Amino acid sequence: MDIRVVMLSAFTVAGIRAYGPYSVSAPEAWNTLAPWLARMEKSGAELSYWGIMHDDIHITQPEKIRYDAMVAVPADLRLDGSVFARRMDACEYAMAEHKGPYHEVQAIWLSLFWDWLPFSGRCPATLPCLEQYMGNPVRTPSALLTTRLYLPLAPL
């Protein structure tokens, strides 16, 4: 697995939150966000798709697990109330890229945390881990998905 340390500048996202196991909440959030995304795509906006899995499935009750489906937007975009806005702070991240079905991504996260991080000279920053989907998550066939995983870093 190829892992690079990259700096992400601050950016603003608009999104939808869903609750439940990630296998249910992630598709639910993206399907709920889909009509809003369609309006944005028709406007000619170039979209960047992001997700946050907030909770550890081993310690959080399934019904309380939170997933945010988000798209990067201009900071001054007026939102219609159907989506939330959030500013993502600038940070250095360990970034790994996965090509293929999304259900394989958990193994990449485990490798980042258990194989790479202990030997990196870093610890996790107090920002959420991010996933960037390199195509529309609603329309891209599973086998063609490319997902970038971002682990926020802080010095030891």
Domain ranges of the chain: 3-155
Instruction: Supply the DSSP symbol for 115.
Output: I
CA atoms in the 13 A half-sphere facing the CB of 147:
25
Across the strands, what pairs with 68? 17, 52
- Given CATH 3.20.80.10, say whether it is the number of domain 3-155: yes
Task: Report whether 145 contacts 133 (CB < 8 A).
Answer: yes
> CA 137 from chain center: how many Å?
11
Predicted TM-score (pTM) of this structure = 0.91
87, containing H or E segment: strand 84-88
* CA–CA–CA angle 32, 34, 39 (5° rounding): 130
Q: What tens-digit pLDDT sequence spans the chain (156 residues)?
A: 899 999 999 999 999 999 999 999 999 999 999 999 888 877 767 789 999 999 998 999 999 999 999 999 998 888 888 899 999 999 999 999 999 998 899 999 999 999 999 999 999 999 999 999 998 777 888 889 999 999 999 998
**pLDDT attached to residue 47:** 83
Task: Report whether 64 contacts 55 (CB < 8 A).
Answer: yes
